[in-house]
Structure 1
Amino acid sequence: MTADARPSLAALSAPLVARLIDDAPALRLGIERVGGARVVDAGIRHPGGLEAGRRIAELCMGGLGRATLGAVPGTAAWPFGVTVHSAQPVLACLASQYAGWSLSHGDFFALGSGPGRALARQEALFDELGYTNAADNAAFVLEVDKPPPAELVAHIASTCAIAPDNLTLVLTPTQSLAGTVQVVARVLEVALHKVHALGFPLDRVVDGIGMAPLPPPGGGFLTAMGRTNDAILYGGTVQLHVTGPDVEAEELANRLPSSASRDHGRPFAEVFAAVKGDFYAIDSMLFSPARVTVTALDSGHSFHAGTLAPELVERSFTHVP
């Protein structure tokens, strides 16, 4: 697909933003203005919920992905989860859903995800993807537990070259119901990010689907972060459809699961504690689904690797420090 023919993340996500705002009372969301921007509270002072998280996940994928809640196999004690799929997984996951823009002002810090990243283009990744998006509106999802300062709102709007009142920021604390759903809904994005890290050509990834169990929200940030990560690392399953030789599809399958990492085998909270909270000391290869299938479209052969670890999921989902 040529650059000019690729879909506009901003255009596809704008109706999702509008519906989220319109349905805010039913979804238990709060709406306020900060620095002119519209801020959606999905779990700070307003409770939000599972459906809010599902819709926010689709917004975070720039309107190019679908998220559903329902039964997922593999963890008998936790039978419900999130399934996501996209016919444009590279754009949906890497150009939109990936939390790639570092935002800070004073003591406020967040990693920005969502379709607005393609307007800001503050990451080298967009040059690699060759993707640009021009629009007069932008939306971001921030995994935070407090509203951003007005100065940061102004910076985001200016970087996106839009008026602040055309900017929407959706806030989803990790320990909230909506936050839990939208993080677990990144199971496919986590796989795509590792595909990129492994150097597999992104233009050969044609389609993708993933699922992971839904943990109970953690009582605090660290517990919630551990559970949502473990849902993917030890309970997540992804299938990718790729073009190219079988040998390269098989190699990708073998290198993709979280079990390929030296840090595999313990709940994420324990790994995080072992490195004394230094996120960057964790092996980056850990961040991937537990089980993968890579289907080579040219031959019709599929390659499977990794395995679910329901005992680690159970340990993570029930342990409260």
Structure 2
Amino acid sequence: MTTSHISVNRGAAPLIDRLVERADALRIGVAHGSAGERLIDCGARIEGSLEAGRLLSEICLAGLGSVQIGASSGLARYPFGVEVRTSQPVLACLASQYAGWQLSHGEGSDAYFAMGSGPARALAGREAIFEDISYHDEGEAAALVLETGSPPPPALIRRIGAECGVEPGNLTVLYAPTQSLAGTVQIVARVVEVALHKAHEMGFELTDIVEGIGTAPLPAPHPDFITAMGRTNDAVIYGGRVLLHVRGSAAAAAELAANLPSSTCKDYGRPFAEIFRAYKGDFYQIDPTLFSPAEVCVVALETGAVFRGGGIDPTLIDASFG
């Protein structure tokens, strides 16, 4: 990629500063852990806010995309949604936002597990995706985003710092559980990211994806984890809409539009919480192709041809959102 000079961690830094400066107004907590790391609680032991979630989503995108909340969902009963735009979709979504870093420590009742997203991933470079997109970040500071209700233990913090090549004092960990206001926003704001990830799995040439726009309805948070997880996933699977501008042949663009929507998956057709329970809570038994937008529009830049696939499903959104 020709954009390797862009640093995702440096791009996220000013957004984190803005978040910290407005901590009281955004109802978030800022503290330092025993290893010296900065911990930003966006909705675990503190209430958080939708605006904190919006900024958290832009931090996940490393400042390479914008996230807005407005009346853009296309659903009459749930008109408010999250809109994401990026002119660097591969770096923003796959080098930063994608939750691809498995973090774990301890065993049994003391075990800690979380999936890491955000720009710190590009410093550690532990995932195969970074070889596929030929990107690695360099820098002295790192930002890690976790969808969880608690920060990593000190031993894991030190390991994260070592793998990123930064001192723990230069590591910022931002976290919010799925059930929170901020957590809800940042998960739904992955509507373009899931499209990029599925395109990658389909073998589409990622460097040909030059623009990404997506929107998905904003569900109400729920205190039950499975219900909250179901709503946020359904927002994308049954209510997400994505527009991609791509280089290359019209035939490749047409194939992408036809195969990218979630409706091509065998598990499509039930609220996600119901699917999750049917697989007895084993997330990895669910067909991964389900995690994609409901509706896709692909523009082939070389010909101006427009290809569409899928469609939003208001009935399943109603069944999920309550």
Deviation at 1:90, TM superposition (A): 0.4
For the pair 1:213 / 2:217, whether they are aligned, the reply is: yes
Partner of 1:33: 32
**Contact 1:37–1:153 (CA<8 Å) still a contact in 2?**
yes
Amino acid aligned to 1:8? S
SS for the counterpart of 1:152 is helix
For the pair 1:296 / 2:319, whether they are aligned, the reply is: no
For the pair 1:262 / 2:261, whether they are aligned, the reply is: no
Alpha-carbon deviations, 1:102-126, whole Å to 9, x = none?
0011211000000111101011111
**Contact 1:74–1:310 (CA<8 Å) still a contact in 2?**
no
In the alignment, which of 197, 200, 208 is matched to residue 196 of structure 1?
200
For the pair 1:172 / 2:171, whether they are aligned, the reply is: no
Amino acid aligned to 1:31? V
For the pair 1:253 / 2:257, whether they are aligned, the reply is: yes
State the identity as a percent: 56
| TM-score of the pair, normalised by structure 2 | 0.97
Alpha-carbon deviations, 1:16-53, whole Å to 9, x = none?
11111111111110111122100101111111100000
Partner of 1:9: 8
**Contact 1:17–1:59 (CA<8 Å) still a contact in 2?**
yes
Q: Distance in 1 between the 2:77 and 2:268 partners?
A: 22
SS for the counterpart of 2:74 is coil
SS for the counterpart of 1:207 is strand
SS for the counterpart of 2:248 is coil
Q: Distance in 2 between the 1:125 and 1:159 partners?
A: 17
**Contact 1:3–1:130 (CA<8 Å) still a contact in 2?**
no
Compute the RMSD of aligned alpha carbons.
0.9
Q: Distance in 1 between the 2:252 and 2:112 partners?
A: 43
Partner of 1:226: 230
Amino acid aligned to 1:42? C
Q: Distance in 1 between the 2:318 and 2:233 partners?
A: 13
Q: Distance in 2 between the 1:105 and 1:21 partners?
A: 28
Partner of 2:54: 54
Q: Distance in 2 between the 1:244 and 1:121 partners?
A: 28
Unaligned 5+ residue runs, structure 2? none
Pair 302,59 (structure 1): closer, same or farther in 2 beyond 3 Å = same
For the pair 1:115 / 2:127, whether they are aligned, the reply is: no
Q: Distance in 2 between the 1:3 and 1:64 partners?
A: 12
Unaligned 5+ residue runs, structure 1? none
Deviation at 1:3, TM superposition (A): 4.9
- Paired positions, count: 317
Amino acid aligned to 1:159? E
Deviation at 1:11, TM superposition (A): 1.3
Deviates most, 69-78 or 212-221? 69-78
Alpha-carbon deviations, 1:161-219, whole Å to 9, x = none?
11111100001100000000000000000100000010101011111100000000012
Partner of 1:105: 105
| TM-score of the pair, normalised by structure 1 | 0.97
**Contact 1:99–1:113 (CA<8 Å) still a contact in 2?**
yes
Alpha-carbon deviations, 1:34-82, whole Å to 9, x = none?
2210010111111110000000000000110100000024221111010
**Contact 2:73–2:82 (CA<8 Å) still a contact in 1?**
no
